[in-house]
Structure 1
Amino acid sequence: MKRIAIGTTNPAKIMAVKSVFSSEQYALVPTDVPSDVSAQPLSDRETRQGAMNRAKHALTKENADIGIGLEGGVMEIDGELWLCNWGALVDRDGTVITAGGARIPLPLEVAGEIRSGRELGDVMAQYTGKRNIRRHEGAIGVFTNGYVDRSGMFCHIVQLLAGQYEFFCQNR
C-alpha cells in the first residue's frame, strides 16, 4: 500500500484528497508542514510554489511514496483580486506535477482588506460573522452561494493531479 502524505491538517483539503485516492489502495497521512510562502499568497506563482513546498515537505516528513500540497491564494487581473488555488503532487523519484483550479473575483470590500495586508480567512470571518471559513466552505463557498465549496474546488485540483500522475507513470 502506498503512503500519501497530505501537507495539511485542514479538513476541507484532506476531504478533497480522500475523495480521489481510495483508502483501500493508499494510506493517507495528513501532516502539518509549512508552505514557505506568505501567509496570504498574492499571485499564481507564489500560491503554486506554496503547494509545491507543502508537497515536498510532507513527502520528506512522513517518508511517504507521494506528497500532496494544496494552497489557496489570490491573484490580480486587470486591477481586480481573484481567488486562485493550486495543488502539487511529488513522488520519491523527483516527479513534480502541478495543477491550478477555479478562479472567481473577490468583492471590492474583501479585496481592499487583503490589499491592506490581511489574510483572506480573517477577512472572511469578519465578512460573514463565521469562524474557520477556511476549514469548511471557504470563500469560494460563500461567493458561489454554496454551489462550490472549498473541498469540492480542491477535489477538482486533486483529480487533475491524479490523472496527470497516472498518465505520466503509464508513459515512462
Structure 2
Amino acid sequence: MRVGVGSRNPVKISAVEAVFDGLETTPERISIESVAIDSGVAEQPFGEAETIKGAENRARRSVSEYDIGIGLEGGVAEVPGSDGLYLIMWAAVTDGEMVGRGAGPRLQLPDSVARRIRDGEELGPVMDDLLGESDVAKKQGAAGALTGGIIDRQEALEHAVAGALAPFVTEFY
C-alpha cells in the first residue's frame, strides 16, 4: 500500500509512520511518502473549520498518486465555553472515496502568545521567538514547549492520524 502524506514536515511524516508501525494487522507492505501539497488555507488556520479544511485538502490533493492520502493541519481556535485561544490539530485520511477525520489534543495558548496570533502572526515563528530557537514546528512543536515535554508535536499528531485512520482499519464505520 502506498501512502502519500501531504507535507514535507518531518514531524508530520514521523507521526504517520508511528501510527502505521502501531497497526495490529498490516495487510501488505506499506510505503509512506512525503508530498509537497498546498493546504489551500491560510498559513495560520484560525478555527476548527479552516483547520479541518486544510487537513482535508492536503489528503485529497495527495491521494491521486497513492492508495491513501493523509493530510495534517495545525491551527488555532477559540473553544466555546472556554477563555483564550487554543492550539488545535486535525488529520484527514482518504482513499479517494471515504474520508476519515481525527483531532489531536487542544492546548490553551499563553495570553502573550494568543495576543500575537490575534495580531496576525503565525504560531511557529512566535514559538521560535519565545523559545529562542528556530524551526520549533519541525521539532517539539508548541505542544512540547507548552507541556514541558510531557507530549510533543509528533505524539499529538499521532492521535489525530489514528482517529482519522479509524474508518480504514476497523469495520465500525
1:108 aligns with 2:111: yes
Q: Determine whether 1:39 maps to 2:38.
A: no
Q: Deviations over 1:123-160 (max 9, x none)?
A: 00111101000001000100000011000101111122
Residue equivalent to 2:78? 76
Q: Deviations over 1:31-87 (max 9, x none)?
A: 110100010011011101100000011112xx1010000000000134410010000
Correspondence list, 1:18-37, <5 A: 18-22=17-21, 25-37=29-41
SS in 2 for 1:12: helix
Counterpart of 2:14 in structure 1 is 15
Matched position secondary structure for 2:107 = coil
The 3 A distance-change label for structure 1 pair 160 and 171 is closer
Give the residue type in structure 2 aligned to 1:6: V
* Matched AA of 2:77: M
Is residue 2:147 matched to residue 1:144?
Answer: yes
Aligned residue pairs: how many?
Answer: 166
- Map of 2:130 onto structure 1: 127
Q: State which drifts further: 38-47 or 23-32.
A: 23-32
1:59 and 1:48 mapped to 2: Cα distance? Answer: 17
Deviates more, 1:117-126 or 1:76-85: 76-85
Instruction: State the Cα distance separating 1:171 from its structure 2 match.
Output: 6.0
- What is the CA–CA distance in structure 2 between the aligned matches of 1:147 and 1:79, rounded to whole Å? 23
- Alignment gaps of 5+ in structure 1: none
SS in 2 for 1:21: helix
> Deviation at 1:91?
0.3
- 1:86-138 CA deviation, whole Å, 9 max, x = no partner? 0000103x111111110011000000000000000010011110100000100
Aligned residue for 1:162, secondary structure, equals helix
Secondary structure of 1:131's partner? coil
CA separation in 2, counterparts of 1:59 and 1:5?
6
Q: 1: distance between equivalents of 2:58 and 2:31?
A: 18
Cα distance in 2, alignment partners of residues 6 and 105 from structure 1: 27
Runs of 4+ with deviation above 3 angstroms? none
State the TM-score, normalized to the length of structure 2.
0.91
